[in-house]
């Protein structure tokens, strides 16, 4: 890896570590209507969560993320479902603080090494993890987490890859989040259970805030040595 790219990687890693300190839960958010973005972000922040993943799954996603960035400065907005170098560039231009992908192609990993935005590539297998590590990405998204072997898989990966840190997403909810977070190589978990689409469409912001508070309280009560 060229020296300038290696230096950029170190800077990204430092920024990402600082951001993930605001975890340990990253809501995975799908927004269908632009007008839902800002009140949803405020509801999550009121409940105690600042890290937000706005997925690029709907036409409203980019504009909603832009509105949140502009109107809710407490929010730490990340762009998810980044599939191409163009998506990554859009996230950076938008002013997102970080970006995530459910997977990673060589073209996307290459683009991410030359981008200043902290990036979390997705992996599901040891070979995919090896490729991400080869490009300098030590923090990865384990997706789909439950379908890819769950907690036993991450325990197994800890042996040959002690330097890797994971943000598992997919099949995680309020019942099992604390079990994932108990793993030493898990630094955060992602999930959509915090803000289900039915409650977003209904504008049930108080329900989302209350669930967020309850989840954080439950994790705090059940936390132990990591």
- Among candidate residues 27, 56, 43, the one with its CA nearest the CA of residue 167: 27
The string of pLDDT tens digits covering residues 57-91 is: 999 999 999 999 999 999 999 999 999 999 999 99
pLDDT for res 1? 52
**Across the 226 residues of the chain, what is the mean pLDDT of every consecutive 10-residue run?**
60 88 94 98 98 98 98 98 98 97 97 95 98 97 98 98 97 95 97 96 98 92 53
141 a catalytic residue:
yes
Cβ-contact 76, 97 below 8 angstroms? yes
Whole-number percent of the chain with pLDDT over 70: 94
pTM: 0.92
Residue 74 has, within 13 A of its CA and on its CB side, a CA count of: 13
The overall average pLDDT reported for the chain is 94
Please pick, among 128, 141, 155, 175, the residue that the annotation labels catalytic: 141
Tokens standing for 52?
A: 């937000």
128 a catalytic residue:
no
Say which residue the tokens 């769950």 belong to.
150
CATH 3.40.50.720 fits 3-217, yes or no: no
Q: Are strands 119-120 and 98-100 parallel, antiparallel or unpaired?
A: parallel
Please pick, among 14, 35, 53, 155, the residue that the annotation labels catalytic: 53
The string of pLDDT tens digits covering residues 18-45 is: 999 898 999 999 999 999 999 999 999 9
């Amino acid at each position: 890896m060229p020296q300038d790219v290696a230096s950029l990687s170190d800077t990204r890693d430092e920024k990402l570590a600082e951001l993930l300190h605001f975890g340990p839960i990253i809501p995975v958010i799908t927004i269908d209507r632009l007008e839902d973005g800002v009140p949803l972000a405020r509801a999550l922040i009121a409940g105690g969560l600042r890290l937000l993943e706005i997925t690029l799954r709907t036409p409203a996603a980019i504009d909603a993320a832009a509105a949140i960035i502009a109107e809710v400065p407490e929010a730490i907005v990340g762009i998810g479902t980044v599939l191409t170098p163009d998506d990554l560039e859009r996230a950076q231009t938008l002013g997102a603080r970080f970006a995530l992908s459910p997977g990673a192609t060589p073209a996307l990993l290459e683009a991410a090494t030359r981008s200043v935005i902290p990036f979390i590539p997705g992996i599901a297998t040891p070979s995919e993890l090896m490729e991400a590590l080869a490009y300098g990405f030590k923090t990865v998204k384990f997706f789909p987490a439950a379908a890819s072997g769950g907690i036993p898989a991450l325990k197994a990966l800890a042996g040959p890859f002690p330097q890797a840190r994971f943000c598992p997403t997919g099949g995680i909810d309020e019942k099992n989040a604390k079990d994932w977070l108990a793993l030493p190589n898990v630094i955060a978990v992602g999930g959509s259970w915090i803000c289900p689409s039915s409650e977003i469409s209904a504008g049930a912001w108080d329900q989302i805030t209350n669930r967020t508070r309850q989840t954080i309280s439950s994790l705090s009560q059940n936390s132990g040595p990591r």
